[in-house]
Amino acid sequence: MAYYHILKERRTNLKLSIQDVSNQTRLAPQYIQAIEEHNLDVFSDDLSFVRYFVHAYSDAIGVNWQAISDEVDVDVNEFAHQRDMALTMAQRRMVEQMASVQKTKKTTKKKKKSSLGWFQKHVSRTSSSLNANQTKIIKMLVLIGIIGLGVLSLVNVGLRSISNQKLATQQELREEQLSKKEQETNKLANQRKKAKEAQALVVNKISGETNAYQLSNIQSDVKTLDLSITLPTKTKITLKKNDETINDTSKVYTGTFNQSLELSDDCTFEISIETYSDNSISID
């Protein structure tokens, strides 16, 4: 499955909208939508942003960036290659069109020259003398033309050298910008990783107690926790908060038992499972 399909499927499974991801990553919604729809034309001004945006998007919704980074690089490089090939073909067609126009102009000039040549021959036939000074002038004009062509060739070589140097400088600047953006991406990823670690729920076993655990690092805005117990067989469950029963103890549960735990300062929950074997308990 392509990386952009993975990102979209993960987002929809988390029931997040594009605006939700935009608020979390501070990326514009149109960029997130362009990534999911594989519309890289949106980033054609600077394709280096694609890698940065996909990395930030992956971290925001819990997709392993390392697992898709190579695919993203290959995709971006292939898109850039196809775009450059299209530009080259367009330039080539333009050159061919210009050459066709020039060819047409040359044909017209040849016709004019042909007419002019006939006129010159006619004049030559009617003229009785061509002295040595006229011959020297013609030779001098030919020499000046040859020198002019040489100067134009030298100017063309110089301009080409300057253009190559400019392209090399632009490439170095682009590589430097890409390196800076890569560093910014890694910095953002580390910041998000630390933020997630800081928000993670901490579960520690209470020393000297049996099956007793203490939950800590609960964020101040969290009012409830979701309790889920997987039950291999039918059984009864008693759930107490501060010694007060908060569930239906007469009911026989099977499959999965789910209960929201309303939090208060230093509260204690006690879970009793009548048939306790191969059960799985999770708190989100």
Minimum mean pLDDT range among 130-144, 171-185, 258-272: 130-144
Residue 32 has pLDDT above 50, yes or no: yes
Say yes or no to pLDDT of 167 above 60: yes
Partner residues linked to 122 by β-bridges:
none
First vs last Cα of the chain: how many Å apart?
29
Measure Cα distances from 55 to 52, 186, 208 in Å. 5, 9, 45
pLDDT value at 280 more than 90:
no
The amino acid at residue 71 is E
Give percent above pLDDT 90 in the chain.
Answer: 26
| Residue 282 dihedral angles phi and psi, to the nearest 5° | -135, 145
Higher pLDDT, 59 or 170: 59
Looking at residues 26-41, what average pLDDT do you find? 93
Average pLDDT score over the chain: 82
> At residue 56, does pLDDT exceed 90?
yes
> How far apart are alpha carbons 129 and 124 in whole angstroms?
8
Do 239 and 247 meet the contact criterion of CB atoms below 8 Å apart? Answer: yes
Give, as one character, the DSSP assignment of residue 277: S
pLDDT confidence bin for 123, thresholds 50/70/90: very low
The model carries a pTM of 0.35
Position 277 pLDDT exceeds 80: no
Residue 145 has pLDDT above 70, yes or no: yes
Nearest to 17 by CA among 3, 32, 35, 38: 32
The most confident of the ranges 171-180, 205-214, 263-272 is 263-272
Whether 77 and 41 have beta carbons less than 8 Å apart is answered as no
Taking residues 141-149, report their average pLDDT: 86
C-alpha to C-alpha distances, 215 to 2, 202, 212, 222, 282, nearest whole angstrom: 39, 6, 10, 13, 12
Average pLDDT over residues 200-211: 79
**Average pLDDT for 25-44:** 91
131 has pLDDT over 70: no
| Phi-psi region at 211: left, alpha or beta (left = phi > 0; alpha = psi -120 to 50) | left
pLDDT of residue 106: 63
pLDDT at 116: 53
